[in-house]
Structure 1
Amino acid sequence: MYTAKGDKGSTDLLGERVGKDDPRIDLMGALDESTSSIGLGRAHATIDAWRPLLIQAQRDLYQVMAELAFVDEIRPDAYRLKHDRVDWLEASIAEVEATVTLPPQFVIAGDTVAGAALDVARTVVRRAERQVVGLDASRHTLNPEILRYLNRLSTLLFIIARAEDLASNDGPRLAKSERRKARE
């Protein structure tokens, strides 16, 4: 399906037509990429217990995109991300973290397909988080819960990625090699 309305480089927000290079559109694109990346990680996940968390995170990101699609003046309150979603993420982080021993240093992504896909999703979410900070510093006022949500979501994705790595082998590969540690 196409309308050809965007062929000249503009698109619609609910209440305003803007250029496709508008930072709000760019942020929505990063959130869309985040949702797809989380879906890829979920598709490869081997730990069934965490799949519902990933699905809910995808749904929450769709709500954030809906919130951003409205201009402030006409956005219904029902489209605003609420604090309870951040609370849910914090509880989810605690739930997963209780089952995983996190490595004491940086890890190299790629030990498992699921872990690597979730690490990619985490980095895309982090990019969206940076874009929120940039938008908030400009003339656009954003719901502060969005930034908090994205920050917690990247943590959840990191922990689930480590759980996937641990479930499939001896654990994540550390960024600092054993040989290098021995020299220090």
Structure 2
Amino acid sequence: MGITTKKGDSGFTSLFSGERVKKSSIYMETLGTLDELNSHLGLVKAKCPETLKKEIEFIQTNIFSIASTIATEPSSPLREQIKTLKKEDLDTLEDFQKHLIEKTKMPDKFIYPGTNENSAITDIARTVCRRAERRVIEFEGKIKINLYIEKKYLNRLSDVLFVLARYFENGEFKEKE
């Protein structure tokens, strides 16, 4: 299978459901930011202890679901094939945050990112998550897709990533060698 199709050379690309959109459209800006977030989460996952990899991968799967929802027009028959986020996904994320908070000394003042490499890369993922949330909010206002759970999920995820970065700062594990 080839990677280069040359179909995007004109500045347009296809959504999952087949519609062609400009690469500079709100669709692609939102999808690109979600892709960037997922890539940063991949770095967090690569650097974190084995005990947390499953949770990070669950989050990555949900980011893919958000992107799939956005990349599929509501009227498309493909809409039925994609996994959409449910309240249970949000509950699982909130449970992960509670678990981390139980193990983490939270700061009582403003923090400077960069205490160690793991906390720094997690804080970068957190800031990209906040941008993704802003893009989804802007996107939702321009098309007919209700992203109520997705917005909440991204909002909670930025909180989870804040706590995870503090967890890494507290040295709850030894960095990989």
Asked if Structure 1 and Structure 2 have the same fold, meaning a TM-score greater than 0.5 normalized by the shorter chain, the answer is yes
SS in 2 for 1:11: strand
Report what 1:124 is aligned to. 128
Amino acid at match of 1:95: H
- Following TM superposition, the consecutive aligned residue runs of length 4 or more in structure 1 with deviations greater than 3 angstroms are none
Q: How does 1:7-46 map to 2 (within 5 A)?
A: 7-13=9-15, 14-45=17-48
Q: How many residues were matched structurally?
A: 168
**In structure 1, what is the Cα distance between the partners aligned to 2:32 and 2:133?**
12
**In structure 2, what is the Cα distance between the partners aligned to 1:5 and 1:154?**
35
Amino acid at match of 1:16: E
Aligned sequence identity (%): 32
Of 91, 94, 98 in structure 1, the residue corresponding to residue 95 of structure 2 is 91
**In structure 2, what is the Cα distance between the partners aligned to 1:77 and 1:97?**
36
Report what 1:55 is aligned to. 57
**In structure 2, what is the Cα distance between the partners aligned to 1:36 and 1:30?**
10
Of 108, 111, 118 in structure 2, the residue corresponding to residue 114 of structure 1 is 118
Q: Which has the higher helix share?
A: 1
Deviation at 1:12, TM superposition (A): 0.6
- Asked if 2 retains the 8 angstrom alpha-carbon contact of 1:42 and 1:114, the reply is no
1:124-143 residue CA offsets vs partner (Å, 9 max, x unmatched): 01100001111122234332
**In structure 2, what is the Cα distance between the partners aligned to 1:72 and 1:11?**
18
**In structure 2, what is the Cα distance between the partners aligned to 1:32 and 1:78?**
17
Of 71, 79, 86 in structure 2, the residue corresponding to residue 82 of structure 1 is 86
| Structure whose CA Rg is larger | 1
Gaps of 5+ in 1: 170-184
Amino acid at match of 2:64: Y
Q: State the superposition RMSD in angstroms.
A: 1.7
Deviation at 1:168, TM superposition (A): 6.7
- Asked if 2 retains the 8 angstrom alpha-carbon contact of 1:112 and 1:168, the reply is no
**In structure 2, what is the Cα distance between the partners aligned to 1:39 and 1:139?**
29
1:123-172 residue CA offsets vs partner (Å, 9 max, x unmatched): 00110000111112223433211101101111111111101111179xxx
- Asked if 1 retains the 8 angstrom alpha-carbon contact of 2:97 and 2:163, the reply is yes
Instruction: Return closer, same or farther for 1:20/1:140 CA change in 2, 3 Å cut-off.
Output: farther
Q: What TM-score do the two structures reach when normalised by structure 1?
A: 0.85
**In structure 2, what is the Cα distance between the partners aligned to 1:6 and 1:78?**
24
Amino acid at match of 2:99: E
Report what 2:165 is aligned to. 161
Q: What TM-score do the two structures reach when normalised by structure 2?
A: 0.89
**In structure 2, what is the Cα distance between the partners aligned to 1:160 and 1:96?**
7
**In structure 2, what is the Cα distance between the partners aligned to 1:156 and 1:52?**
15
SS in 1 for 2:21: strand
